């Protein structure tokens, strides 16, 4: 137990939470206050890493049930309320996608696709940036952790190619190529996180909050809404960064030959990889037919895919049991979803929103689009104070939806713009995303370059999603 739990931080947080438990402000109802304390306690492992996420999730669920924080009158009802987060369909979707991602790690399919893209599109520096971004795009629908997608698959390839051209981190040579490629990979990762519902671990919380405000989002509706602004932004990011960071190497013929050589070193296309391609093709076909068959929901499709991977022995039951990251996140996310549900049920989120909306009463005379753009800018740039996209969403997204609702902003544009911006603001700072640690430690980007590039890209994304996005959502009839 002592290996998993750091005793001093654990008891420090427990002491602070205990004091807060009995120090309720009069303005907040007792069940809301106790749920709020458990909510913030459940978030603390992201910041202080003193125990596994899932373990603290179990502790929080236990305390929530034992203290009857849901307002239940019987122990049976209290236990049922504490376990209610596991009923979320979206949560099971993410668990299935975590397991599907494991099938990529067990085969060489990802490496083959990435090297093939670089071989055919990477003859120029800017083409190489697009090739790496496309590699991220290929993985995004099946990888619910944008940090894992970037740190395990894409950034290491970018680093290897940079070194191939004599561009090394922590040296002036980084400006040859490494600085530019690292920035492109990092910011493109934010775009793919906003494009697919299953591409960022914060997205299920966005869906949960949206449903509380009367907006139901599914995988297909999310993708359709994000598609046009995301594709346009995806196109412009390498161009904008090219002029902002100015790599000294413009031609990269070695990259194509390097990719070809690395691809030829790989073993021949295995039967397992062929089976994986067939299964993914079936998954895409099922996703298409789900547009016409309402009962064929994306969660069902994910479990059909997982079943095929098990039957074909690409995955084994042992792989599923031993996927600790998936189960750890599953328990933690279930706990947070449950706590958020009750915070909203008790009216706490709307109460916070009403307080802050009073500060923006002067915008009631504006057109709602102007108010939305201002609200979104505040939501984006307040991320300078956060070290995690997930924490940003959990603490602020629901509150900002309440503020927007009080300011008479239509629900769909409000939910979508703030929701997509949650992923887009991830790289405003050197510490604002889980991926940032690897980017910074690589030495290719200085703090000044990260802040500068992050601000420039934030202006670009706000303009495209705020202008083109609103126009697109009008065209498809969302408001």
CA separation (Å) from 153 to 4, 114, 225, 253, 345? 28, 9, 27, 22, 40
Which three-class secondary structure state does DSSP give residue 25?
coil
Residue 160 structure tokens: 């290897």
Place of tokens 């996703």: 287
pLDDT of residue 220: 87
pLDDT of residue 236: 96
pLDDT digits (tens, 9 = 90+) for 254-286: 777 877 888 888 888 888 889 988 998 888 788
pLDDT digits (tens, 9 = 90+) for 341-387: 888 888 887 788 778 888 888 888 899 999 999 999 999 998 887 76
Residue 316 sits at φ, ψ, to 5 deg, of: -115, 165
324: exposed, middle or buried (Cβ count in 10 Å: 0-12, 13-18, 19+): exposed
pLDDT band at residue 7 using 50, 70 and 90 as cut-offs:
confident
Contact 85, 336 (CB under 8 A): yes
Residue 320 structure tokens: 């599923």
pLDDT band at residue 152 using 50, 70 and 90 as cut-offs:
low
Q: What is the average pLDDT across 226-249?
A: 93
Residue 210 structure tokens: 């949206």
pLDDT of residue 456: 94
Show Cβ contacts of residue 303 under 8 Å, excluding neighbours closer than 6 positions: 92, 96
Greatest mean pLDDT range, 137-141, 143-147, 359-363, 468-472:
468-472
* Higher-pLDDT residue of 144, 56: 56
Question: Lowest-pLDDT range, 50-54, 58-62, 79-83, 451-455?
Answer: 50-54
CA atoms within 13 A on the CB side of 177: 25
Show Cβ contacts of residue 207 under 8 Å, excluding neighbours closer than 6 positions: 90, 197, 217, 222
Q: What is the DSSP string of 227-275?
A: HHHHHHHHHHHHHHHHHHH--S--B-HHHHHHHHHHHHHSPP--HHHHH
Contact 464, 234 (CB under 8 A): no
Q: What is the average pLDDT across 465-470?
A: 96
Contact 222, 478 (CB under 8 A): no
pLDDT band at residue 139 using 50, 70 and 90 as cut-offs:
confident
> pTM for this structure?
0.77
pLDDT of residue 436: 66
**Using the 8-state DSSP alphabet, how is residue 124 labeled?**
B
- Triad 361, 211, 410: Cα angle to 5°: 35
pLDDT band at residue 2 using 50, 70 and 90 as cut-offs:
very low
Question: What do you get for the CA distance between the two ends of the chain, in Å?
Answer: 53
Contact 418, 401 (CB under 8 A): yes
Contact 98, 315 (CB under 8 A): no
CA 371, CA 350: separation in Å to the nearest integer?
18
pLDDT digits (tens, 9 = 90+) for 282-335: 887 887 777 677 777 778 888 998 999 999 999 999 999 988 888 988 898 889
CB atoms within 10 A of CB 163: 14
pLDDT of residue 1: 45
pLDDT band at residue 472 using 50, 70 and 90 as cut-offs:
very high
* H-helix or E-strand spanning residue 366: none
pLDDT of residue 3: 65
pLDDT of residue 470: 96
Whether 48 has a pLDDT exceeding 80, the answer reads no
pLDDT of residue 466: 95
pLDDT band at residue 412 using 50, 70 and 90 as cut-offs:
very high
Percent of the chain scored above 70 by pLDDT? 96
Average pLDDT, the chain: 86
CA separation (Å) from 186 to 132, 179, 207? 10, 11, 24
Widest pairwise Cα distance in the chain: 70
CA 82, CA 394: separation in Å to the nearest integer?
18
Percent of the chain scored above 90 by pLDDT? 37
């Amino acid at each position: 137990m002592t290996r998993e739990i750091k005793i001093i931080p654990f008891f420090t947080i427990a002491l602070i939470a205990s004091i807060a438990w009995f120090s309720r402000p009069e303005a907040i109802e007792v069940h809301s206050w106790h749920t709020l304390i458990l909510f913030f306690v459940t978030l603390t492992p992201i910041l202080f890493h003193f125990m596994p996420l899932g373990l603290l999730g179990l502790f929080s669920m236990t305390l929530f049930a034992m203290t009857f924080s849901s307002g239940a009158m019987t122990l049976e009802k209290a236990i049922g309320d504490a376990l209610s987060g596991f009923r979320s369909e979206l949560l099971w979707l993410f668990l299935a996608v975590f397991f599907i991602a494991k099938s990529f790690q067990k085969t060489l399919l990802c490496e083959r696709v990435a090297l093939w893209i670089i071989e055919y599109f990477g003859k120029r520096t800017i083409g190489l940036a697009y090739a790496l971004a496309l590699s991220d795009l290929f993985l995004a629908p099946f990888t619910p952790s944008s940090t894992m997608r970037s740190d395990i698959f894409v950034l290491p390839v970018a680093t290897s190619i940079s070194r191939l051209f004599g561009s090394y981190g922590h040296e002036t040579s980084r400006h040859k190529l490494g600085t530019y490629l690292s920035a492109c990979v990092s910011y493109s990762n934010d775009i793919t996180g906003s494009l697919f519902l299953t591409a960022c671990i914060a997205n299920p919380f966005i869906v949960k909050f949206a449903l509380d405000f009367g907006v139901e989002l599914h995988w297909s509706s999310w993708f359709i809404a994000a598609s046009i602004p995301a594709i346009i932004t995806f196109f412009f990011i390498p161009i904008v960064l090219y002029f902002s960071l100015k790599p000294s190497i413009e031609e990269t013929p070695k990259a194509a030959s390097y990719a070809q050589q690395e691809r030829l070193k790989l073993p021949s296309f295995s039967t397992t990889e062929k089976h994986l391609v067939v299964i993914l093709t079936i998954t895409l076909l099922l996703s298409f037919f789900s547009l016409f068959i309402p009962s064929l929901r994306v969660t069902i499709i994910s479990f059909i895919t997982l079943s095929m991977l098990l039957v074909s022995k690409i995955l084994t039951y042992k792989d599923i049991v031993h996927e600790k990251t998936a189960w750890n996140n599953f328990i933690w996310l279930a706990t947070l979803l449950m706590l958020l549900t009750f915070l909203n049920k008790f009216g706490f989120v709307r109460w916070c929103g009403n307080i802050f909306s009073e500060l923006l009463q002067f915008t009631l005379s504006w057109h709602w689009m102007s108010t939305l753009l201002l609200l979104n800018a505040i939501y984006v740039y307040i991320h300078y104070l956060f070290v995690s996209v997930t924490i940003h969403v959990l603490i602020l997204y629901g509150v900002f939806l309440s503020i927007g609702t009080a300011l008479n902003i239509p629900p769909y544009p409000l939910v979508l713009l703030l929701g997509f911006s949650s992923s887009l603001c991830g790289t405003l700072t050197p510490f604002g995303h889980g991926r940032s640690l690897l980017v910074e430690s690589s030495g290719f980007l200085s703090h000044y370059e990260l802040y500068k590039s992050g601000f420039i890209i934030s202006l670009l994304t706000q303009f495209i999603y705020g202008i083109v996005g609103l126009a697109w959502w009008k065209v498809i009839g969302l408001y």
